[in-house]
Amino acid sequence: MNKNLYQPISSEIIKIIDESPTIRSYVIVPEEPFKFETGQFVELTWPGVGEAPFTPSSSPADTEKMEISIMKVGHVTELLHECEKGQKIGIRGPYGNGYPLDDFIGKHVYIVGGGVGLAPIRSLFLTLIDRIEDFKSIVCRFGARTPDDFIYKEAVFGHWQEIEGVDMKLTVDKADDNWKGNVGVVTTICNEQDVDVSNTVAVICGPPIMMKFATLKMLEFGFKPAQIYLSMEKNMSCGFGKCGHCMIGKYYVCKDGPVFTYEQIKDYPNIWD
């Protein structure tokens, strides 16, 4: 008898962090060992209410607990925001392919992120800096609507900036009185001079419109479609390539993704919709 694919593992919420007006992070402890690779996703169940896919924002190296950042955006996520510390939720997975880190070795990693897209990026970033000597450099170009909309503020505004080998720039669409940085969409802080394109991989994660324009920007810089890694957000339901909801052309995002190179999916219609 095979394992029941549909059965969530009970997990306790041990901490809740308010990241921004619409985003909260949940630190959960699964009751069974739960390993994942950075970039893979999980299905979270609020028992009796609903299920939705999320990419953990914590490092896979932390095998005791896992962090998941949830933006209030639909029915299930709104209800998930009502979960409280101590509550039990369900987790299934992990599913799909993570970031192919071996392909990044010896290269600059150029990460463009926006909004809640920083969640998968945080997991990737923590994984990369654990072995930072493997990479030429890590370039981060992060954006948010307003300074208050940045998640992981302490890290993004603070200690991540100071790590040797990391080049980080931030931008907001709309500044407040205290903001001293760049104002504009994330592509306004991406410069061709930042990197040696021939020896760089680009990683993009964020809202669809941002991913579209960041991808176009990278192409303009001379990146080949196969050098651009996208973390695709689709309506993943089962998680293992059967239910059909997340299909982009022949690919099941849940099984063949969620990380794709632009090369793989560029010819399919409406990938950004």
Partner 1 sequence: MLGMRHQINRGERVGIVSISKLSVLLNAVAEQIELYTPKKIGNHYTFAKYDSSIETPLHFNNVRAYTPIKDFLFPLSELVAVFSKSVEPNEVKPFAIFGLKDCDLRSIEILDKVFLEEEFQDPFYQRRREKLFIISSDCFDPAESCCCTLFGGRPFAQSGFDLNVSKTSDGFIVEVGSNKGRDFVEKHSQLFTDAPEALLIERDKTRAKTQKQIEQNNSKYELDAPVNKVLENSTDSEVFDIESQKCVECQACTRICPTCHCFYLYDTRQKDYFAKMKMWDSCMRMAYAAVAGGANPRKVLGDRIKHRLMHKFSYFFDRYGIDMCVGCGRCIDADSHGMDIRVVLKKLNEELRTKPKAEVAK
User: Which positions touch partner 1 (CB under 8 A)?
Assistant: 1-8, 10, 45-52, 73-77, 88, 90, 207-208, 233-235, 237-238, 240-250, 269-273
Minimum CB–partner distance for residue 114 and partner 1 (Å)? 13
Q: Cβ closer to partner 1: 77 or 127? A: 77
Q: Cβ closer to partner 1: 1 or 18? A: 1
- Cα gap 29→47, rounded to integer Å: 16
Minimum CB–partner distance for residue 207 and partner 1 (Å)? 7
Q: Cβ closer to partner 1: 94 or 109? A: 94
Q: Cβ closer to partner 1: 52 or 124? A: 52
Minimum CB–partner distance for residue 258 and partner 1 (Å)? 12
Q: Is the peptide bond before 258 cis (omega within 30 degrees of 0)?
A: yes
Minimum CB–partner distance for residue 268 and partner 1 (Å)? 8
Minimum CB–partner distance for residue 10 and partner 1 (Å)? 4
Q: Cβ closer to partner 1: 20 or 59? A: 20
Q: Cβ closer to partner 1: 203 or 246? A: 246
- Cα gap 211→206, rounded to integer Å: 6
**Tokens at residue 51, please?**
């299920």
**Tokens at residue 26, please?**
């949940």
Minimum CB–partner distance for residue 73 and partner 1 (Å)? 5
**Tokens at residue 80, please?**
């998930």
- Compute the chain's Rg from CA coordinates: 18
**Tokens at residue 190, please?**
């991406």
Q: Cβ closer to partner 1: 44 or 185? A: 44
Q: Cβ closer to partner 1: 23 or 195? A: 23
- Cα gap 211→258, rounded to integer Å: 14
- Cα gap 272→262, rounded to integer Å: 11
Minimum CB–partner distance for residue 4 and partner 1 (Å)? 6
Minimum CB–partner distance for residue 97 and partner 1 (Å)? 13
- Cα gap 98→93, rounded to integer Å: 12
